[in-house]
Structure 1
């Protein structure tokens, strides 16, 4: 699959442009993503969340000015900038679909850093890091992390049983455990997403 053209990607995922036409997403998801996250910690304190999104079906949005993509490997700086401008920065209002709850309240996340786009065995992959605006000491709090879209727009699923892990210098007492987050149903209340409980 050499120099896979933009038109071929778009033919394979005609509905991918829903990220810029939200009304098309009313019936069912149009973009499918497998995610992984590494919770960056110093002792019992969370400092950032490093995420990876693997798109199952191709482009998330129609891009202007890109004729070809590599078979494998990172996109160049110009292509990455186009992806960021047209298919990533607009997700700021949705908090990049990343929900960090502390005692039931949303924890604010900072602007993403280290945004990269690679092609891995024909799949588009985003990687980036969301720093916390204020480091969070997990001890003594109910803390959970979920990655989801509340609408039918994008379907997020964990990339394997250990999709969310603790990284950095986490205290040995810290753990991450999956659970069904009944407090935050999505898809108009029809679906209960999986989240991760973080404790120390």
Structure 2
């Protein structure tokens, strides 16, 4: 007779197979950096950089050739914005800013740029908050992830998230495991940053 723990494990695997979850996995890999723009103790915007893994299918976007290094021209940037960036608005550009556990809304992104750095595609842009949030009055956290895990986001180095702008000297960004917002049907627990002053 099988051990009850083994039976539970087999049942879990069967449920995952039936639901199709097991076949899902990242298809796009991005290393990110985020600069939390502050005025005093209020977060006003998030400036982000996404560095795609090599092999981003630029042909699907409709751009024939990219420079070896440097920024794309205005026409190519507009194509990327239309074909491979603006559609992410419904997902809040995979950027999750929470105040006391409630998701905050971003306005339209500004400063969208596309460049190539050592063969890798790079997006930079700024997400302004619709309403700035005071981190002294609320528990604030920032995470960058795709709930479906189709896109895998990883921090670009140990100091991928920084505080900038005219922040109070006491403001910090500290990493933590965000158990309150599991992704990929609860299988993956993302990393996030606690923003406080």
**TM-score normalized by structure 2?**
0.86
Moved over 6 A (4+): none
- Residue 106 of structure 1 aligns with which residue? 103
> Retained in 1: the 8 A contact 2:54–2:119?
no
Are positions 1:142 and 2:139 aligned together?
Answer: yes
Q: Figure out how many residues of one structure are paired with residues of the other and give that number.
A: 176
What are the ranges of 5 or more consecutive residues in structure 1 without an aligned counterpart? 1-22
Equivalent residue in structure 2 for 1:173, among 164, 170, 173: 170
Q: CA RMSD in A?
A: 1.5
- Report what 2:14 is aligned to: none
1:26 deviation in Å?
4.8
Change (3 A) 1:161 1:89: same
In the other structure, the counterpart of 1:90 is: 87
Task: Deviation per CA, 1:71-105: give whole Å up to 9, x if none.
Answer: 00000000000000000000000000000000000
Alpha-carbon separation, structure 2, partners of 1:86 and 1:124: 15
Please, which moves more after superposition, 55-64 or 34-43? 55-64
Partner of 2:38: helix, strand, or coil?
strand
Contact 1:33 1:55 survives alignment (8 Å)? yes
Tell me what 1:3 maps to: none
**Partners in 2 of 1:53 and 1:82 — Cα distance?**
17
Q: Paired residue for 1:131, among 128, 131, 136?
A: 128
8 Å Cα contact 1:31/1:60 also seen in 2? no
- Closer, same or farther: CA 50–181 of 1 in aligned 2, 3 Å: same
Q: 190, 194, 197: which one pairs with 1:197?
A: 194
